[in-house]
Copies of this chain bind each other. A is one copy, B any other.
Amino acid sequence: MKFLHTGDWHIGKKLNGYDLLEEQQDVFRQLMAVAEKEQVDAIVIAGDLYDRSVPSVEAVEVFNWMMREMNIEKKYPVLAISGNHDSSTRLETGGPWYEPLRFHLHTRLEQGLAPVEIDDTQFFLLPYFEPFAARRYFEDDSLKTIQQAVAAAVAEMEKRFDPHKKQVLVSHFFIAGSTTTDSETKVTVGGLDVVPLSLLENFDYVALGHLHNRHALHSDNVRYSGSLLKYSLSEVNQEKGVWVVELTDTETNMEFFPVTPMRDVKVLEESFDTLMTPSFYSEINREDYIGIRLTNKEVIPNVMNQLRSVYPRIIQLERAHGRTAQELNVLASSDLQKKDPLTLFADFFETAVEQPLTIQQKSWLEEEYMTLEKEG
């Protein structure tokens, strides 16, 4: 059994307003090229397929294309779970129809307890879940923590282990001893929401999602795939890619295949003058997503507009030496002043609600605004 292990796709994720769908399609093609070259038998996706529970129509289109490509066109069996960013109910749509084509997408705890068997391997696809789901399923009110809930789930799986087969767990949790980055959901520190490694020792391999850094955990057979792209500035130094895992009769072999993003995410810590010097910026890819840490201490008028004229995709601007000047507080302040109130409200609404205004809502807004203008 040879399979590819990926996860944390976060389709539809935006980086400070910049849409990453193009980058996500590009990196997906690289993933497929690895699967083909390595002739894997299956593809494992360890949760967080989407970035949010109600993805945009554009994100749904991209994700549908990826799934068709993987399972219908290239005919790879797919072994996937929902993560904490996904809506398990929405992802569940279609589930019973997917399975005959060996596309297994598990979104509920109980689905994770029975293995999906492919050749000599039992895959347990345990989606992200909350302790209350375990209390309800096991009818056991003592399951207060994720640690206890996962222990109950693993005990149930172990009853179904076939000694003649290999066992792989696919899951989406924070494992004790791991370290986190900014773009992951905050986890409770103190141990309650953490799953100890020792619980997982009877599996031949554990394919994890959740943490975006594949080095977050040190273990022989328990691995995070990491995300497919850098989803925050705290991930700038992480190499992204996928694992190819081979289970032989005697051992588990793991090889990491890096992917190269169309546009990278990086941090520049320099003085304003350096950043604006052609001999400096002609040496770097200015199309990348860039976080800037200015080393200057003085106020620089119109700083963002000047920087944007050279670096079109600035995703953060801060002072390297602590002082936060007013000028830096609102990233797109100069843009703000150019927008009319209706556009500003529409932007604010879209940010807060994660949906654009409907035509009906826009017309209400316009009416209200005209009334206000008259009264003013």
Segment 233-256 of A: residues with Cβ below 8 Å from B: none
Kindly provide the distance from the CB of A226 to the nearest chain B CB, expressed in whole angstroms: 26
Kindly provide the distance from the CB of A348 to the nearest chain B CB, expressed in whole angstroms: 13
The CA-CA distance from A242 to B240 in the complex, in Å, is 54
* Among listed A7-15, A93-101, A132-140, A176-184, interface-contacting one: A93-101
Q: A57-B87, A352-B361 are in contact. Are A93 and B96 (CB under 8 A)?
A: no
Interface of A is mostly: helix
A68 neighbours in B (Cβ, 8 Å):
96
User: Can you report 8 residue pairs joining A to B where beta carbons are below 8 Å apart?
Assistant: A54-B355, A57-B89, A60-B90, A72-B96, A93-B93, A97-B97, A100-B100, A352-B361
Kindly provide the distance from the CB of A250 to the nearest chain B CB, expressed in whole angstroms: 37
With both beta carbons as reference points, the residue of chain B lying nearest to A55 in the complex is identified as B90
The CA-CA distance from A103 to B97 in the complex, in Å, is 9
Kindly provide the distance from the CB of A210 to the nearest chain B CB, expressed in whole angstroms: 19
A202 close to chain B: CB less than 8 A: no
Copies in the complex: 2
The CA-CA distance from A94 to B97 in the complex, in Å, is 8
Contact of A90 among B57, B72, B355 (CB under 8 A): B57
B87 touches A64 (CB 8 A): no
The CA-CA distance from A87 to B352 in the complex, in Å, is 22
A94 touches B98 (CB 8 A): yes
A92 neighbours in B (Cβ, 8 Å):
64
A101 neighbours in B (Cβ, 8 Å):
97, 100
With both beta carbons as reference points, the residue of chain B lying nearest to A54 in the complex is identified as B54
The CA-CA distance from A90 to B54 in the complex, in Å, is 10
Segment 63-80 of A: residues with Cβ below 8 Å from B: 63-64, 68, 71-72
A332 close to chain B: CB less than 8 A: no
A61 neighbours in B (Cβ, 8 Å):
89
Kindly provide the distance from the CB of A71 to the nearest chain B CB, expressed in whole angstroms: 8
A299 close to chain B: CB less than 8 A: no
Segment 218-277 of A: residues with Cβ below 8 Å from B: none
A372 neighbours in B (Cβ, 8 Å):
none
B60 touches A93 (CB 8 A): yes
The CA-CA distance from A61 to B88 in the complex, in Å, is 10
A353 close to chain B: CB less than 8 A: yes
The CA-CA distance from A366 to B30 in the complex, in Å, is 45
With both beta carbons as reference points, the residue of chain B lying nearest to A90 in the complex is identified as B60
A96 neighbours in B (Cβ, 8 Å):
68, 72
A100 neighbours in B (Cβ, 8 Å):
97, 100-101
A353 neighbours in B (Cβ, 8 Å):
353, 355
Kindly provide the distance from the CB of A55 to the nearest chain B CB, expressed in whole angstroms: 9
A89 neighbours in B (Cβ, 8 Å):
57, 60-61, 64
Kindly provide the distance from the CB of A28 to the nearest chain B CB, expressed in whole angstroms: 17
Segment 90-138 of A: residues with Cβ below 8 Å from B: 90, 92-94, 96-98, 100-101, 103
List 4 A-B pairs, minimum CB-CB distance, nearest first. Answer: A94-B94, A97-B97, A57-B89, A97-B98
A97 neighbours in B (Cβ, 8 Å):
71-72, 94, 97-98, 100-101, 103
A72 neighbours in B (Cβ, 8 Å):
96-97
The CA-CA distance from A96 to B64 in the complex, in Å, is 10
Among A57, A60, A94, the one with the most B-chain Cβ atoms within 10 Å of its Cβ is A94
